[in-house]
């Protein structure tokens, strides 16, 4: 069984019955099972020096060493450890003093136990975020990846992608949800697989595509059902949450969930429990939730298309995968990888390709991202016969795909091109600027430059000749 949280929670009280009841409540109500118990306050400092403890619940009234004295020592010698004070007396002055000394919170034993459990859960989340921030800072400052093997399936040399990898390593031990954003085809499922590998969880990665699932199918898929729950349910079935126990549940296309399904997912995240269809007995979820979407959930929750409370639950940890057009340096790496992969599957020798092919691809927006590039490579290999790979398959794919630019590319055409306080250039000046820029992007390849400009190659040649004759070099 996986331990939660990643750091230990030390319960300190001289009453064995209270320690036992609190331990049971934490495990049942919060899924918190990484627990250490201590009845003798004199042993606490030794335990803190020996074990990986992140949070302490501390009774104030104990023999030998009082809770207040112990609180001061913990704050002084172990400032990274959080402390929650639990007292048998409701004393405001004492509570204020404990907070001044550095305690996270103060509870009275006679309070409702659910209130104490929620306070401990809140403190755990704060400690997790604090540790993750420290770890993230360390990784970025050192520019390190401690587990590069987890990202072996992600072909990239991009700095932004490396930052994503470093972030994933930092939040890997967390039990909180992870939200993966990015356009279709960028590799969100590969990122989810890397996050699962980094987590060290012993359970499996279970993937569910939420797109197109109505509320009943969603509930049955995730939570399973009891026998007789509905017509045709002649035997019980475990849902995906149960199948992913001690592992990771990956929900793809979460932005397409119906409002009713969003409520069910919110309860799963908030309470950590669920009800199989036809059952009135809750089950505890033991899977970490990772979700992905190509939608802008921030915009969707603002216009009412996605629940705000669910959105804020999901975004505790989040990464955004940049589209392929923003990491053009990866295109040659991915092309080599996909061509070799396709050649192996088709029983062919990996081909060479014209040097202008990467230039052609670098000037395409790739609305389908990495998935589209892979399809191009496989299509080209399927018709490949000679030693050098033909560019025709790529040219046809680009010609058919160019009108369908993603929304972000369409929006970019609306930005201001000319400074409002500067005079407008003439049509001839604009045409010359376009020609120069197209030749620069095409690395002097006239065939590619003419495609970028939407004119024929002879027409471009004429414009280039005019530029040279007028004394202006094209580049």
What letter would DSSP give residue 388?
Answer: B
The answer to whether residue 180 is domain-embedded is yes
The answer to whether residue 227 sits within a structural domain is yes
CATH (domain of 33): 3.40.50.2300
- Residue 302 exposure: Cα atoms within 13 Å on the Cβ side: 5
Spatial distance between the Cα atoms of 325 and 408, rounded to a whole number of angstroms: 11
Assess whether 292 and 371 both reside in one domain. Answer: no
Same domain, 216 and 75: no
Helix orientation angle between 392-401 and 369-382, rounded to the nearest 10 degrees: 140
Same domain flag for 15 and 61: yes
Q: Which two tokens stand for residue 376?
A: 């191009």
- Do 258 and 185 sit in the same domain of this protein? yes
Q: Are residues 114 and 201 in the same domain?
A: no
Residue 89 in any domain: the answer is: yes
Q: Are residues 164 and 272 in the same domain?
A: yes
Within 13 Å and on the Cβ side, how many CA atoms surround 367? 14
Q: Mean pLDDT throughout 310-335?
A: 94
Range scoring the smallest mean pLDDT among 12-26, 34-48, 203-217, 423-437: 423-437
| Tokens 């392929």, located at residue | 324
Element (H, E) at 120: helix 113-142
Last residue of a domain, one of 288, 320, 352: 320
Cα–Cα distance measured from residue 306 to residue 465, given in angstroms and rounded to the nearest whole number: 56
* Rounded-to-integer distance, Cα 167 and Cα 132, Å: 9
Look at residue 134 and tell me if it is in a domain: no
What would the two tokens of residue 36 be? 């250490």
**pLDDT, tens digit (0-9, with 9 covering 90-100), for 391-425:** 888 988 888 765 444 444 444 445 566 777 777 88
* Two structure tokens written together for 249: 């549940």
- Whole-Å CA distances, 346 to 104, 173, 178, 460: 62, 40, 37, 39
- Going from the C-alpha of 345 to that of each of 205, 388, 440, 456, the distances in angstroms are 26, 18, 37, 38
The Cα 322–Cα 182 span in angstroms is: 7
Instruction: Tell me: do 337 and 378 sit in the same domain.
Output: yes
* Range 45-49 contact pairs with CB under 8 angstroms and sequence separation of 24 or more: 45/70, 45/73, 45/74, 45/77, 47/10, 48/10, 48/74, 48/77, 48/78, 48/81
State the chain's mean pLDDT as an integer.
Answer: 88
What CATH number does the domain containing 292 carry?
A: 3.40.50.300
Q: If you ran DSSP here, which 8-state letter would residue 326 be given?
A: G
Indicate which CATH number applies to the domain containing 379.
1.10.8.60
Q: How many domains does the chain have?
A: 4
At which residue do the structure tokens 């500067």 appear? 422
pLDDT at 71 over 90: yes
| pLDDT at residue number 388 | 85
| Tens-place pLDDT, residues 445-469 | 888 888 788 888 888 888 888 887 7
CATH number at residue 465: 1.10.10
Residue with tokens 């004393």: 91
Q: Please report the sign of the dihedral spanned by the C-alpha atoms of residue 102, residue 107, residue 109, residue 115.
A: negative
Whether 68 and 111 share a structural domain? yes
Residues 447 and 364 in one domain: no
Report yes or no on 118 lying in a domain.
yes
Question: Does 181 lie in the same domain as 271?
Answer: yes
The yes-or-no verdict on residue 436 having pLDDT over 90 is: no
Cα–Cα dist 435/321, whole Å: 33
Residue 250 lies in a domain: yes
Name which residue leads in pLDDT, 93 or 381. 381
What is the reported pLDDT for 414? 52
Question: Which of 26-40, 193-207, 460-474 is predicted with the least confidence, judged by mean pLDDT?
Answer: 460-474
| 398 SS3 class | helix
**Domain of 107?**
8-128
Tens-place pLDDT, residues 351-389: 899 888 999 999 899 999 999 999 999 999 998 887 889
pLDDT for residue 1: 60
> Whose CA is closest to 346, among 374, 383, 376?
383
Mean pLDDT of the region 318-333: 94
Per-residue confidence (pLDDT) for residue 403, from 0 to 100: 46
The reported pLDDT for the residue numbered 94 is 82
Whether residues 28 and 80 share a domain: the answer is: yes
Residue 110 belongs to some domain of the structure: yes
Residue 474 has pLDDT above 80, yes or no: no
CA distance 173 to 198: 8
Domain end: 105, 128, 151, which one? Answer: 128
CA distance 347 to 311: 47
Number of CB atoms found within 10 A of residue 222's CB: 26
230 domain-assigned = yes
Lowest model confidence (mean pLDDT) among 59-73, 205-219, 412-426: 412-426
Domain boundary among 93, 128, 163: 128
- 8 A C-beta contact, residue 160 and residue 327: yes
In this structure, the answer to whether residues 262 and 150 fall within a common structural domain is yes
Structure tokens at 314: 């999901």
């Amino acid at each position: 069984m996986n331990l939660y949280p990643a750091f230990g929670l030390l319960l300190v009280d001289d009453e064995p019955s209270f320690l036992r009841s609190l331990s049971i409540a934490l495990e049942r109500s919060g899924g918190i099972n990484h627990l250490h118990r201590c009845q003798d306050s004199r042993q606490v400092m030794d335990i803190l020096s020996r074990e990986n403890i992140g949070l302490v619940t501390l009774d104030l009234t104990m023999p030998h060493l009082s809770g207040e004295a112990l609180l001061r020592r913990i704050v002084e010698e172990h400032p990274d450890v959080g402390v929650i004070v639990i007292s048998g007396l409701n004393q405001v002055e004492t509570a204020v003093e404990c907070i001044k000394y550095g305690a996270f919170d103060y509870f009275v034993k006679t309070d409702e136990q659910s209130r104490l459990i929620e306070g401990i859960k809140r403190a755990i989340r704060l400690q997790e975020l604090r540790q993750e921030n420290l770890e993230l800072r360390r990784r970025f400052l050192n520019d390190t990846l401690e587990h590069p093997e987890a990202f072996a399936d992600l072909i990239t040399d991009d700095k932004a992608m490396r930052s994503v990898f470093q972030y994933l390593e930092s939040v890997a031990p967390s039990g909180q949800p992870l939200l993966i954003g990015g356009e279709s085809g960028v590799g969100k499922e590969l990122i989810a697989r890397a996050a699962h590998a980094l987590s060290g969880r012993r359970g499996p990665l279970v993937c569910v595509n939420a797109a197109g699932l109505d509320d009943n199918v969603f509930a049955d898929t995730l939570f399973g059902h009891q026998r007789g729950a509905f017509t045709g349910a002649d035997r019980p079935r475990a849902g995906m949450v149960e199948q992913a126990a001690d592992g990771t549940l990956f929900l793809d296309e979460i932005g397409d969930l119906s409002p009713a399904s969003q409520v069910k997912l919110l309860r799963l995240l908030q309470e950590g429990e669920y009800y199989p269809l036809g059952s009135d007995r809750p089950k505890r979820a033991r899977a970490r939730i990772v979700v992905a979407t190509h939608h802008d959930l921030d915009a969707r929750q603002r216009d009412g298309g996605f629940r705000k409370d669910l959105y804020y639950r999901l975004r505790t940890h989040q990464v955004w995968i940049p589209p392929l057009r923003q990491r053009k340096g990866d295109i040659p790496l991915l092309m080599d990888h996909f061509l070799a992969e396709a050649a192996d599957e088709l029983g062919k020798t990996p081909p060479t390709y014209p040097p202008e092919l990467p230039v052609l691809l670098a000037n395409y927006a790739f609305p389908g991202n990495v998935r589209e590039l892979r399809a191009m490579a496989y299509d080209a290999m399927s018709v490949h016969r000679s030693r050098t790979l033909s560019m025709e398959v790529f040219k046809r794919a680009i010609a058919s795909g160019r009108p369908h630019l993603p929304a972000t590319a369409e929006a970019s055409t609306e930005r201001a091109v000319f400074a409002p306080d500067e005079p407008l250039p003439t049509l001839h000046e604009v045409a010359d600027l376009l020609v120069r820029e197209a030749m620069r992007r095409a690395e002097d390849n006239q065939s590619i430059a003419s495609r970028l400009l939407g004119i024929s190659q002879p027409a471009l040649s004429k414009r280039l000749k005019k530029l040279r004759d007028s004394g202006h070099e094209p580049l």
